[in-house]
Amino acid sequence: MSISCITPPYILTRLLDSDNVDIRQSALSTLLTTAQLRGERNVRGLIAGALATPADGRRSIFDCDHSTFLPLARLVRSEDDATVPDASVNQAFDGFGTTRTFYREVFQRNSIDDRGMRLLGYVHRGIQYNNAFWDGQQMVFGDGDGQVFTDFTGSTDVIAHELTHGVTEHTANLEYHFQSGALNESMSDVFGSMAKQWKLGQTADQADWLIGPEIFTPHIDADALRSMKAPGTAFDNKLFGKDPQPDHMDRFANLPDTDEGDNGGVHINSGIPNKAFYLVAVGIGGKSWDAPGHIWYESLKASTPTTQFQDFAETTFRKADQLYGAREQQAVKEAWAEVGIRVSG
């Protein structure tokens, strides 16, 4: 499993050109430490003993106290503990709880692995770390630099996005590059957005369909990291340019499978299946986690590590018929067609 980060590398790379030396330094430090994590995989396995027994998704939040060495982090809140003075700890704890309950009540899934996997969170990682990531065993949060990014624990859909990487790992295990990697990222956006909508009790037409609107500081001119409703419109500013996400296969970005190329554009091309899910949700109407969510969830479970956009579209078309009927299947077919993918059915 790759280290899966919420902040796309293309945003951090653009910040290296900022006139502000502090913004440049924070972006460089984040890029370097994230690359180190991907190379060393030294985070995983250090506390594997804590994961040995199923625990019904029990939550444990640790404070890194700005260190990057996780085994030194202090346990500051466990499942049955009351709130603590640290807002980041409480937000991570509550976000884990929302995601866990969402998966249990909507999809009858017992935590990330469906076997009660403990939910481990680490807050205050490093100094001005502009990211949050899932590494296959735990979720780690940076505080942001305070100028572009703020505390990454403050967004429910960001937390659910990252934990969904774990769900994907324990189901289809989609390879994290090119189209399968973009599907991997899209699954996290889809289920992250559904978890937020479920928490707020919103219907598909009431939701904002934005990913991470809370993680930018107030003076940054950006709506969010991504828009599922309108990929390519989440931001357009001098600091990190224009949102590069396509909303149609005609604009698919062919990028190299490198860190600089975003592993073949996994955070970029995810806009295409994201838009398809949005269209299915508003096409069917009502709550996104009802028919649309179950179609996507069953299709994720039926996918393989190398599933491509076309494969996944065909699977959703079949699942719509198996689970529901002609109306839902037609909505799926029309949604994929609108993003340039025609299902054979």
**Cα 69 from Cα 71, distance rounded (Å):** 6
Q: Which neighbouring-strand residues pair with 5?
A: 133
Active site residue 105: no
Helices (H), 208-290: 262-265, 271-284
| Nearest to 243, CA basis, from 266, 278, 268, 265 | 268
Catalytic residue, from 124, 161, 162, 165: name it: 162
CB 297 within 8 A of CB 327: no
Catalytic residue among 161, 170, 177, 267: 267
Q: What angle do CA 285, 287, 292 make, to 5 degrees?
A: 75
187: phi then psi, degrees, rounded to nearest 5: -55, -40
* Residue 267 designated active-site: yes
Element (H, E) at 48: none
Instruction: Judge whether 113 and 170 are in contact, CB under 8 Å.
Output: yes
Q: Which residues are catalytic?
A: 162, 267
